[in-house]
Amino acid sequence: MAEIVLGIGSSHGPMMKTPPERWPELGEKDQLDVRFDFASLRANARPGLANEITPGRMKQRFDDIQHDIDTLTGVIRDAAPDVVVVISNPHGGVMHDRMQPTFGVYVNDDPPFTEAPRWSGFEGGKRPPAHEAPAEPPRRETRQFPTDGELAGHLMNGLIREGIDVAASFQSKPGANLDMAFNLLYEIYFPDASIPYVPVLLSRYLPNQPMPGRTYQFGQALRRVIDRWDSPKRVAIMASGGLSHQIVDEDLDRMVIDALQEGNAEALCSLDREQLNRAPGTPEILNWVACAAAMEPTTMTLIDYQPCYRSLSGTGQGTTFGYWK
């Protein structure tokens, strides 16, 4: 039977690879986000925030993150998984004229790939604002990643039998809509794409965002299904995303980290939904809740937590790395 050998928790986001001297640019772009009252955010900002966005402080945060990435890469390599189940979410919200599920499995057998504009001179390949867009058309890159169709099908059937209503993603171009959220394993840790993966969707968006307790049940069911897989393969489960962003909430982050380290399922299941949705990216904490449930009773070992700020409004990311082993 299959063996779960590792749980992985890792943030994803532009601050992990954008040079720290350009973090203020990200902070300036935050101010264009109409979802926030930035005057109120600045007025109620965390004390001492000005000290967090000095060049020296941002460089230290960035350097620490690179060390954390190296550390977690070593943990994954030592565990030697044959396949990684990546729990994450698509970016871009709930699109009009498109159904988006609460839970889903990408069940294609062909290698998923990404095909998206890559903007030269702009970190992370993200599209800049219109007034900064280059005149020339963006060049497109297609990357292929290995997947495990057998495990994907097993998860699909097994989760349904467990009472988890999951959607199946069948695509004419498998994985074409996947971004760094799912492909973090290859974008950051193993660029040679040497380990197959199975992308599993957990929506961070309202109104189809699962409650924390239901997310925990999903993680437990995921564990039971993998345990029943008739395969000798070594499996890792990865939570990709989080913690708080685009507004950093250190209190929430530290409470979640404490619960993950203590194996406090009650605390994870009772996370306040309003606080989780204070910023669009913060509900990615649910990916960690699912991973923690799948790995119980093992508790998380924290590698590092870096509250990375990029503006006086408190925008940034609670960048976090940890593992269950």
CA 120 to chain centre: 24
* Residue matched to tokens 């001179």: 121
| Chosen CATH of 3-324 out of 3.40.830.10, 1.20.1070.10, 3.40.50.2000, 3.50.50.60 | 3.40.830.10
The mean-pLDDT minimum among 16-30, 39-53, 117-131, 203-217 falls in 117-131
Question: Mean pLDDT across the stretch 25-32?
Answer: 86
Closest-CA residue to 312 (of 247, 243, 242): 247
Summarised one tens digit per residue, pLDDT across range 222-237 is 999 999 999 999 999 9
Which of 76, 322, 62 minimizes the C-alpha distance to 189? 76
Q: How does pLDDT run across 254-281, given as a tens digit for each residue?
A: 999 999 999 999 999 999 999 999 888 9
Structure tokens that stand for 281 in this block: 């990216």
CA dist list (Å): 274 to 176, 204, 206, 209, 309? 32, 13, 11, 12, 22
Q: What percent of the chain has pLDDT over 70?
A: 85
pLDDT at 125: 42
Tell me the C-alpha distance between 104 and 106, whole Å: 7
Cis peptide before 246 (omega within 30 of 0): yes
Task: Please give the C-alpha separations between residue 83 and each of 65, 155, 201, 235, in angstroms, as whole numbers.
Answer: 25, 13, 17, 5
87 forms beta bridges with: 200, 239
Residue with tokens 């990709």: 240
Cα first-last separation, the chain? 18
Fill in the DSSP letter of residue 270.
Answer: T
Residue 244 has pLDDT above 90, yes or no: yes
Q: Output the pLDDT for position 141.
A: 61
Token pair listed for 270: 């009772």
pLDDT in tens, 286-305: 999 999 999 999 999 999 99
Contact status, residue 267 vs residue 115, Cβ threshold 8 Å: no
pLDDT > 90 in the chain, percent: 64
Token pair 């945060």 is found at: 61
Rounded Cα gap, residues 10 and 84, in angstroms: 13
**Cβ atoms within 10 A of the Cβ of 128, count?**
14
